[in-house]
Amino acid sequence: MMRLNNGSPLRVGGGLSPEDAGMAADVVQDDDGPQHLKQVSRIKHIILQKYLPSWEVILGSKNRRLCYFDCYAGPGAYEFEGQKVDGSPIIAVRAAQEYLAKVKAHQMTVILVEKDEKQRASLDTELKRVQPYGQGLQVHVMAEDVKEFVPKLLGQVPNLAPSFFMVDPYGHPLTVPILNGILQRPQTEALINFMYYRINMDAGNAKVQHHLDAMFGDGEWRTQAFLRGGGWNREQGFLEYFKCQIKAQYKLQFRIRCDVEDGVAKSRTKYYLIHASNHPKAALLMKEVMWPLGDEEGLFDFSGEKHGMLFSSSPREEELRRALLQEYSGKEEVEFDQLREETWDLPFIEKHYRSVVKQLKEEDLVEITPVSSKTDRGLKKKDRVRFLPPKEGGSI
């Protein structure tokens, strides 16, 4: 028995039948050591490693219990560029340990779902490296089919604690109805691997199209206009359709292109990481994590060519300037963080907003009233920004 919320018990059963095989895995099995991890898969772990500590602090400020669910946990460790690196379960456990060491009397439950016996045995071995877990941390490895485990979980635990779900399969993700069941819970987020390359292949193969029927929960996807096209338009249509099916207010995408090891053009999209949440601060935090990991200026786009390093030049702040002036000129004051939240889908992060608004102040196009800042030189949080009407003869 384990407890995932304030006292509500959850009982789970044993493992079930294996899933159908997905696209070629992002890892390559080596019988003599950890599985080899490709560059384009390593980026997922980096995002998780950077996001979880801040997520725990923010959610933990008002909640004494948090949960992390790894829906496709894997072996726990990989070989990357000749070195052994932690998989997502170990990253999550280490983050939880560091958080709980600083916040006494709080609790964290980590649920690692892995139905493959060999993968699970490796995971159990790797978890020994981070034991004892320490005060307040519970870690459970579940020998379950996640597509049955999660609905059972949601049915048995009506008041799930604030939770982060890692949904990273080798083929199709959890079905859309299951994902929506997760995201309807308060203070719950998911990082979803939308394996576009494989899903797009299956969409054109009548023998396996039933996989997509199951993923979406119906066959409505078959009637969509984007399927009659090709190339980038088809890809963006498919992505937007999937995102529209996900019932979350904020959906931030990060494009991962194919690795040289995949044997296809590096310009092709392999998958999208989609962060889904219902709170603007979650979207803003994930933007801060994702943006500097892109390898093209101002894009949430990763190919591995720059090894996760952003170009030294800044994105085109003139685009942000134009968007803010068009949206806010002549309107009432708005808090700085509110400004960022209301324009969360623009490809800019906090430092860009601060730079643009301060420049507008120098041009007498905005007025700033310090609230959170101690002086008029700062700009953060609840500081108030008033966009002035454009001067006569001026332009935005």
pLDDT digits (tens, 9 = 90+) for 343-386: 999 989 999 999 999 999 999 999 999 999 988 889 999 999 99
332 and 190 in one domain? no
| Helices and strands, counts by H and E, the chain | 12, 17
129 and 54 in one domain? yes
Q: Is 21 exposed, middle or buried (CB count within 10 Å of its CB: 0-12, 13-18, 19+)?
A: exposed
Q: Give pLDDT, residue 26.
A: 57
326 and 273 in one domain? no
Mean pLDDT of 134-142: 97
**pTM greater than the 0.85 cutoff:** yes
Q: Is 6 left (phi over 0), alpha (psi -120 to 50) or beta?
A: beta
Closest alpha carbon to 290 in 312, 308, 278, 303: 308
> Using 50, 70 and 90 to split pLDDT, how confident is the model at 15?
very low
How many other C-beta atoms lie within 10 A of the C-beta of residue 109?
22
β-pair type (65-70, 33-37): unpaired
374 within domain boundaries = yes
Q: Which domain holds residue 143?
A: 2-302
Assign residue 364 the CATH number of its domain. Answer: 1.10.10
Is omega for the bond preceding 132 within 30 degrees of 0, making it cis? yes
Closest alpha carbon to 200 in 164, 226, 161, 181: 226
168 within domain boundaries = yes
172 and 83 in one domain? yes
Q: Indicate whether 25 pLDDT > 90.
A: no
Tell which of 270, 302, 334 closes a domain: 302
208 and 59 in one domain? yes
310 within domain boundaries = no
231 and 115 in one domain? yes
Distance CA 251, CA 192 (A): 10
What percent of the chain stands above pLDDT 70? 86
279 and 373 in one domain? no
Q: Give pLDDT, residue 39.
A: 84
* DSSP element (H, E) containing 282: helix 280-290
129 and 27 in one domain? yes
pLDDT digits (tens, 9 = 90+) for 151-171: 999 999 989 999 999 999 878
Q: Give pLDDT, residue 192.
A: 97
363 and 234 in one domain? no
Distance CA 210, CA 339 (A): 43
pLDDT digits (tens, 9 = 90+) for 238-284: 999 999 999 999 999 999 988 888 878 878 999 999 999 999 999 99
Tell which of 302, 329, 357 closes a domain: 302
Q: Give pLDDT, residue 310.
A: 31
Assign residue 227 the CATH number of its domain. Answer: 3.40.50
311 within domain boundaries = no
345 and 286 in one domain? no
Average pLDDT along the chain: 87
98 and 170 in one domain? yes
Distance CA 355, CA 64 (A): 36
312 within domain boundaries = no
335 and 232 in one domain? no
Q: Return the half-sphere exposure (C-beta side, CA atoms, 13 A cut-off) of residue 390.
A: 12
18 within domain boundaries = yes
Q: Give pLDDT, residue 313.
A: 41
Tell which of 255, 276, 302 closes a domain: 302
Q: Give pLDDT, residue 314.
A: 47
393 within domain boundaries = no
Number of domains in the chain: 2
392 within domain boundaries = no
Q: Give pLDDT, residue 41.
A: 86
